[in-house]
Each structure stands twice: as structure tokens, then as C-alpha cells.
Chain A
């Protein structure tokens, strides 16, 4: 049978946003693949060159709708490094808690999407139901569900509101129990297991070379987490483990994300117990001294990095964003090659696509 190209997307149930995956199939088996992105390119980095430093924080939220907290945190982090200001300790703890809330709700969004990809609507409904608690925590903390606009250069916008710790503990305790209900929907489901296990297999070496980061990389056996190995804020003062799985298939990447949600609950619990009193924000200068600075942190989707070139004025000379999904999706040829057409949603779903940060 002759080979032919099939275009999946930009409007396709598996694509979670506007992007295209062209696959060359020989019968059912995929021979070659070519991702096409750029439908959402809006020149984010160029736009930043015409804005003052504080004006970029809400823009950083819009890089990814479900990881807005970590993106604005990363931007504030690189600006703080450039201005050489130290964030107060209480603000560091609040940022860690906010980041972990963001990580849990982002992973739940992924789990919901993964459920619909594999035709299991109950996972979708249950995961989004639990996610709503974390969005409610976001509303309590900063007044917004998704585009939080919460970190500031030199701290965070406001202290935790009255009784926030109590609500946080209640949500975390209840969520850990409810997550087991969702796991029962997936791990006890023969269809889910047979579609996830053994598809999209990548070895440790390939994963590192292709630049996969985050849960996709740790699901392939690379034992690396920016939170532990290049620590920022107060992650090195907390006791938690990095989730790693040597399987390398879609199911391994799924297991890493589930374990990360449990670990995030643990981090939140310890951070609330250890949090000191004190100020939550220091004053930041308007102009940034000349120089180049780089900062990276662990996004829910992988390693995100910003490279800032400042020229002494109140606007960045250049701001480069390294988006984890941009690199992960470039590896999709290697991920789907040799698999079958019907496995594409099960493989590309574990990448956790987000087009806002991919196209920038």
C-alpha cells in the first residue's frame, strides 16, 4: 500500500488548541510526522521591548492559561535577578504555595483532557470538579481564576487573606482522598491501561537529547527537576521527592504527573507550617542596570527559562522566553514514529500542549 500524508488539525479533538500534526501513514503505521505551529504567534518577545518592566507581568500571565502563576513568577524572578533585590522570606513561601496550586490545577486540566482524548468522560468531569477547588483558592488569594497577575517584582501583590491557610489545608486533605477516586477510574480501567501502556516509547538518552523537559522527561527516566537541582525560592528547605519513572511510555508520563500532584500537596502542607511572618514585598527600582540575566524554573509542563538583556532604561532590550512545550512538540516526530494512527491522541496528550506559550 502506498504511503500518504494525513493532516490532523488545526481543528481536531486531540490537538487542544490550534496546531497541526501532519503524519505520513503506511496503512495504520506512522512513518513520518511534521508538527506545524505558529497560528497563535503574536510577537510576545517583541511586544515586551516597548513596555516597562511592571507592565509585562500581566502579559506573562497570558503565555499559558493554566500555568499563569509560574510564568509571571519566572518573569519577576529574572527581573529581580537583574535588579539584584532579595525577595522577603514570607513572599517566597507564598510564591511556592501559589506555584504548587498552579501545578495541581494544571495537571488536573491535563488529566481531564487526557480523559476525553481516550473517550472517558467521567475522568474529565471529576478532574475538572476537583480543579474548581484550586481555582477557588486562586480567587481567594488574588481575585482571579486563571490569569492571576499575583507575583510582583520584589515580592507578591498581597499577603494571604484571612483564613486562607485553613481553606488550603481543607482542600489539600480532601483532594488527596479524591485523587484516589480518579486513579481508580484510570488504573482499574482496562481500556485506559491498554491504550496508554507501551505507546510513544522514548529512551532516557533520546529524551535528554531531544530536549524533552518536565514530566515528559521524568517519565522517560531522566532524574532532573529544577526545583531540586537548581533550587530557587525555598524549595531546598522543604522535604519532598522528585517523581521519576523509567518506563518511558505514555503510562510512565501519566504516573509522573499523578505522583507530582501528591508531592505538590506535601509541599503546600510543609510550606504553610514553616511560613514565617514578615513583609511580603520590597520596593523595586524603576530602571534596571545594564547586563544580561537568565532565570529558569519548573513549570507544570517543563523547564521554562527567560533571558533578559537590559540596557539601563525602564524597558527590556530583549526578553527571550524558552517555552517547554515549544521544544517538547518538536520531538513529536520521534514520539509518534512507529506507532499507529489511533495512538496519536494517547501519545501527544501526554505532552500537555499549550499553544499560548508555544507560539508566543
Chain B
């Protein structure tokens, strides 16, 4: 394990360290000032999230959300650093017939409700989540309303 960051790594350090540690399992999609974009395989997500939290010192998961691309679904994580205002955008692609992914709620407490919301609106199951129940919609609701296949009455 490399050195622990007590403050903040730079954009270049994040890209280099993640590429060195995870190799082909994580694809770097580019960077801008204070932004790093990357995409990870489903299998390494939990390990990568632990690394980003523990070593790179990204203390907060700003947001977890999903996008339904119809051919597949994507879970998008926005991870923030409180020392230099950097944000990592991490995407994980899921096949439509296997909508499960590891939960990052044990690492970032703030991701807890974001994952619950994503589960009830898209039907993505987060394995290892402490309480994966419906939050905004009633408990006996039968649908996943934010999927593209769920049409609004007057939509075209």
C-alpha cells in the first residue's frame, strides 16, 4: 500500500495511483481541473471505493445515482474531497439481467439513502446495504418508476 494522504492528492496523483493499483479493471476517462472521470468494473467497486476513501482521503460521497440507458444501466458515484474541492466521477455499468452491485454505504454513511433511493426508483440491488427498503414511494409499490420503460401518461 502506498502512502496515506492526510490532506489531498492532486488530479495527476489520483489518476496515476488508481491506474497503478487497479490496472485494466479501472478505465480513466480523463480529467479537468478538480475533476477526475473514471469507470470501473463491477467486481472491483468495493475495493476501489475503500481505496479512494482510506488512502486518497475522499471523505464524502456527494451523490449516488443511476441512469437507464436501455441497453444497460449505469450507477454514477460522485466522491468529494474536503481539502482541495476535488470530485471523482465514478461510473459502473450493469447488464440489464444482473442489476446488482456492491453497496458503498458501509464506507460512506452519506451514500445510505442515495442507494435506497436508487433501488426503489431503478430496481438496482445494492448488496451489503444495511437497510434496502423503499423510501420515497409507499412500501407496497410495485414499480420502478424512473426506468425508461415506465412511461408517464402524457409523454411522447
Contact = CB atoms under 8 A, between A and B. Distances in A.
Interface of A: 37-38, 41, 43, 45-47, 49-50, 205-206, 208-213, 222-224, 226, 229-230, 292, 294, 296, 303, 305, 307, 309, 317-318, 320, 322, 326-327, 330-331, 334, 359-360
Interface string B54-87: 0000011111010110000000101010101101
19 contacts: A37-B135, A38-B135, A38-B137, A41-B137, A50-B152, A205-B59, A208-B60, A211-B61, A211-B108, A226-B85, A229-B82, A294-B35, A305-B62, A305-B63, A307-B76, A317-B67, A322-B63, A330-B112, A331-B110
A322 B78 contact: yes
Nearest to B58: A208
B67 A327 contact: no
Contact of A223 (B82, B108, B136, B145): B82
Contact of B84 (A229, A292, A309): A229
B113 interface: yes
A222 B82 contact: yes
Interface string B30-55: 00001100000000000000000000
B111 interface: yes
A294 B109 CA distance: 22
B85 A320 contact: no
A230 B155 CA distance: 37
What band does the interface of chain B fall in when counting residues whose beta carbon is under 8 Å from A? 35 or more
Contacts of B35: 294
Interface string B3-39: 0000000000000000000000000000000110000
Majority DSSP secondary structure for residues of A touching B: mixed
Contacts of A47: 152
B89 A210 contact: no
Contact of A327 (B110, B145, B154): B110
A208 B35 CA distance: 19
Contacts of B135: 37-38
Interface in B103-154: 108-114, 117, 135-138, 145-146, 152, 154
A322 B65 CA distance: 9
A205 B109 CA distance: 11
A330 B113 contact: yes
> 4 closest A-B pairs (Cβ-Cβ)?
A211-B110, A229-B85, A230-B85, A322-B63
B61 A309 contact: no
Contacts of A334: 109
A213 B60 CA distance: 10
B62 A322 contact: yes
Nearest to A328: B110
Given A50-B152, A230-B87, A322-B63, A224 B113 contact: no
Most central of B80, B89, B108 by chain A CB within 10 Å: B80
B136 A320 contact: no
Contacts of B108: 209, 211
B146 A45 contact: yes
A230 B34 contact: yes
A309 B67 contact: yes
Contact of A209 (B59, B78, B85, B113): B59
B63 A210 contact: no
Nearest to A306: B63
